[in-house]
Structure 1
Amino acid sequence: MKYTLGTAVLGISALLGSTAFAQDNTLTINSFGGAYETAHRACIITPFEAATGAKVNVVTAYSADAFAQLRAQKDAPQFDVIHFSGGQEIVGAAEGLLAPIDPASLSNAADLYDFAKANLDKGQGPAYSIAAIGLVFNTEAVTTPPTQWTDLLNPDYSEHLVLTDISNAYGMLGFLMLNQVQGGDLTNIQPGLDAVGKLLDAGAVVVSTSPEIQQEFAQNDAWIAPYASDYAFTLRNAGLPSGFAQGAEGTPASFITTNLVAGRPNNELALKLIDMSISPEAQQCFADALRYSPTNTKTELSPEVAADVAYGEAGVAGLIRFDPAAIEANRTAWVEEWNKAIAR
């Protein structure tokens, strides 16, 4: 079933009921701008406002910037709900910037996969979408879809492979997975660096941004790139034949979380917004619009959309979340080593 604004309003009207809110009927949240923010408004914000009469003020701020604002405003935070895609909720919860959530306060919490609600009591908000990192490929040039991360080493792909710089969050996750299948881990990235060196020697290229990936597929005969599931959809919308495959060894995942900010007066209203974010209707809408993977077990996707994401028990079973705190602690040193490896 196609998710529409009308079904959103009906769905969350039943969810939210006619509760009268004692506090100011306004929430301030962040969103990530661009196509993401457009979908965020269509799938959650606008239906929420329509169903509750509340006003949601949106500050466009990516995860790192939003977290910096939250820290700076510790004694008087502006956000009621804050969204992260880089694991900042782990640090924010430890620093007391985020409030614990009682699962009983969320009607949809019971339907989430366990990994999406693992640390609510610690202040880490639920994951409401997943950006799955796998193998984006040209469906016309690659007639047999890749099935594992080691396929990146296939000599047939040598001059048609696009790697993404690890200054890019998705590039980092793809590199860490390549490192893992080559025998490395978060304490040793040398196997991954060695593999990257060999791939570059064989003809692979490195880009820094998503638009550069599209340019390589459109103009420079790129066939395959380790990147996020939503980007295969982006390429296809641009008229390029593309598909997405999860590697059998595992699927690195960027968790997009919705978090309750500590020290704010509108917790009841904020929790209703969080609850809507983890509803199957909202998650179906995000998957349809952007090809993010749902975390609610009751989310129903069309076969076309399901083929582009990590979906269902089997699809999410292979999700891997590399420790965001370890990534952040090592990022500067890793980027330095990466830059040495690709300087050729």
Structure 2
Amino acid sequence: MTKYISILALSTALTATGAAAQEKLTISVYSFAQDAYKEVLYDPFEEMCGCELVIETGNSVERMAKIEANAADPVIDMAVISSHDALSLARKNLLQPIDTSRLQSFDKLYTAAQDPIGDNMAVGYTFYASSIVYRSDLVSIESWNDLLGEKLADNVALPNITGTQGPLTLMMLNKAEGGKPGEFAGTISAIGKHADDIVTFYSRSSELAQLMNQEEVIAAPVGRFAWSRFKSSPLPFAWAEPKEGQAGGMNVMIMTANNGNEDLAYKLMDYWLSTEVQTRIAEALIDSPANTEVKVSDEVAENLTYGAELINSLNILDPSVIIANRDAWVEQWNNEVIR
């Protein structure tokens, strides 16, 4: 009987140990490149920590709504999201500050990525440039204003105002027109006047790639993270370098308030930001690195937003400007552009 109890106790202990080894971390991420992320990030991390990652995807609106709806009892431990969406969540007290002393690679990050929305409420993990992809055999692009010019009429697509690329495109068109920074009313009105010349206002880069490969569209603003969709096409697409420069953005890591799983979340953040993992992600052409120590070949760099010179040259829209003006922009857009 004593022997039986001892075996039972040992079995219970082993079961408990196994359960502890299978801690779970629930993260909310973009749906983009999830198979590739599984290979270069999720699977190696699970093997290293002996834990399980629960991956949730969706568009930004859905993911933010889920975090807000479960504020009292968080179901998301950590998320990656745009800097302005992170600021919106922080202002609703849905996030907790990040203890950067727990991130070994923190000092290796570009300065802009270390505290992108203030109060250490987020840390940047990737930058992206945004410019105009165009058919180099059919048209040349010198300025962001070319998007509304006669040579592209009936052959251009623009991003919807509610997408990530929408405000960035407004910023660059506004700059090209000599407008006051952050005041886009005139730019939206100009787009409205040319609405009949625009093939579509796209919401997803995959939708745009299909239209351009079908030769219905020959020029459109797009984020660098989607450039591979066009570069691999048999059609001669090119990446524009307009005289006003390129727009830029940053995606960030955030941690939900009072989730109770902070230790494991910090482990993933630290792993994700490490030189080794950021290099692996860059070489897989998934995301551009925020870690300054990442070194890649010229061939890989061509597909990324890579290097201090490029990153420091980007026109980045202040997240607080987006939050302060987004509702007014959308209302004017619906009235003058969508009609």
- Normalising by structure 1, what TM-score? 0.80
CA contact (8 A) 2:36 2:286 kept: no
Q: 2:62 aligns with which of 48, 51, 65?
A: 65
| 1:112 partnered with 2:106 | no
The unaligned stretches of length 5 or more in structure 2 are 1-19
Deviation at 1:93, TM superposition (A): 2.7
Q: 1:232 aligns with which of 222, 227, 230?
A: 227
Amino acid at match of 1:85: S
Residue-by-residue CA offset, 1:192-250 (whole Å, 9 max, x unaligned)? 1354356557x443332334422432233533211111232112334433232344434
Distance 1:80 1:23 in 2: 18
Query: Given the superposition, is the C-alpha separation of residues 220 and 280 from structure 1 closer, same or farther in structure 2, using an over 3 Å criterion?
Result: same
- Normalising by structure 2, what TM-score? 0.81
| 1:279 partnered with 2:277 | no
CA contact (8 A) 2:171 2:182 kept: no
SS at match of 1:287: helix
Deviation at 1:54, TM superposition (A): 1.4
Query: Given the superposition, is the C-alpha separation of residues 218 and 180 from structure 1 closer, same or farther in structure 2, using an over 3 Å criterion?
Result: same
Residue-by-residue CA offset, 1:319-344 (whole Å, 9 max, x unaligned)? 23323343244334323322444369
Distance 2:255 2:278 in 1: 19
Distance 1:331 1:292 in 2: 26
Distance 1:121 1:86 in 2: 10
Distance 1:63 1:198 in 2: 29
What is the Cα-based RMSD across aligned positions, in Å?
A: 2.9
Larger Rg: 2
| 1:167 partnered with 2:162 | yes
Residue-by-residue CA offset, 1:240-297 (whole Å, 9 max, x unaligned)? 3323234443433332111122213332221110112222333334334455322111
Residue-by-residue CA offset, 1:280-317 (whole Å, 9 max, x unaligned)? 33333433445532211112222223223321111101
Aligned to 2:200: 206
SS at match of 1:188: coil
Deviation at 1:134, TM superposition (A): 0.9
Deviation at 1:190, TM superposition (A): 3.2
Distance 1:97 1:167 in 2: 22
Distance 2:333 2:223 in 1: 20
SS at match of 2:33: helix
Query: Given the superposition, is the C-alpha separation of residues 287 and 192 from structure 1 closer, same or farther in structure 2, using an over 3 Å criterion?
Result: farther
Q: 1:29 aligns with which of 27, 30, 51?
A: 27
Query: Given the superposition, is the C-alpha separation of residues 290 and 198 from structure 1 closer, same or farther in structure 2, using an over 3 Å criterion?
Result: farther
**Quick one: percent identity of the two aligned structures?**
30
Distance 2:113 2:83 in 1: 14
Aligned to 2:172: 177
Deviation at 1:83, TM superposition (A): 1.6
Aligned to 2:49: 52
| 1:313 partnered with 2:308 | yes
| 1:336 partnered with 2:331 | yes
